[in-house]
Structure 1
Amino acid sequence: MSHHDHELERRARELYLRASRDVDPVTAGRLRAARRTALAGPTPHSAARRILIPASAFAVVALASLMVWQPLGGPTAEAPATVQTVDVSDPNDLPPDADVTDPSLYQDLQFYSWLAYNDGQARDNK
């Protein structure tokens, strides 16, 4: 240690001792109680916290992995897809129900939107 470090340590020790003599009794009592609590050891709540933090982290990882690796929805061998025809004469009709429609129709929604837009422009130009 250099001379400067020894001087800094001596000065800090003097300030600490002077401050500890000037502490009012109420603050000194609170400091002693806090010291006893800290030296007493871990509380039951801290032991539970030490168990819950890793357990909750594991649960988050498990949930994230389930969300990432869940099987994609699509036609299966057990349930053959049915195709439903839609009358396009009324443009205010709702699209067919997703439960009874071929799921491959929903893969190219952008194409169908483009097709409907261009079909509407072709009718307007006639």
Structure 2
Amino acid sequence: MNSSDKQFEQRVRALYQEATQSIDPVTAGRLRAARRTALETATAHASPHHRARVLLPVGALAAVALAALMIWQPAPRLQSEVKPQTAAVVEQDNEYLPPGADKADPGLYQNLDFYSWLASNDGSQTKH
């Protein structure tokens, strides 16, 4: 802005401030009512166009957000495929473990040295 524009703006502001201070309450009430009516009319007529202008970008943003969620969300099928494999590995590991003390035959614990010897010599017996 050049200096003449700034001077003009300052003069207009000063005149506006002076006019608002010297206006009577009845006229101020009429001006407020006229302003409200004008704003309501403008909003009613511009409403469909304004809604379209606002809803189009909002809809596009929602579509992009949905696409991003679909891309970044892990597929539930991958988790369901992993669970049976994991369960099979756990079952295979449990086959090699001895049963718990509450379920085992007490006779198994009497001859632990024999089972240790059997496990260490099991590989050498298959060579004969």
After TM superposition, the score normalised by the length of structure 2 is: 0.31
Q: Bigger relative contact order, structure 1 or 2, given CA contacts below 8 A and separation 6+?
A: 1
User: Structure 1 or 2: larger helix share?
Assistant: 2
After TM superposition, the score normalised by the length of structure 1 is: 0.32
Structure exhibiting the larger radius of gyration computed from Cα positions? 2
